[in-house]
Amino acid sequence: MRSVLITGANGGGGRALSERLAARGFAVHACGRGAELDMDVTEPSGVERVAEQVAADVGGDGLHAVINR
């Protein structure tokens, strides 16, 4: 399964993009303030935490795309 990480997915275009990619069969890792993966991209510790969590989720398959909104 193809995996994608989307930042800023807590609303608007990011949320819509997450939903659309999920409907097309992507494993979507949505992050942002209040999103599935709660993260503020200005906080390095939060970015590291999310990166570790996503790496554990995708395993050896890795991410196929990162969409940084």
| Per-residue pLDDT tens over the stretch 23-68 | 999 999 999 887 778 888 888 988 898 889 999 989 888 899 999 8
| Per-residue pLDDT tens over the stretch 41-52 | 888 988 898 889
**Cα separation of 31 and 11, whole Å?**
10
10 Å CB burial of residue 50 (0-12, 13-18, 19+) is: buried
What are the sequence ranges of the domains in the chain?
3-67
Contact 1, 26 (CB under 8 A): yes
pTM: 0.84
Contact 37, 62 (CB under 8 A): no
- Kindly report the length of the chain: 69
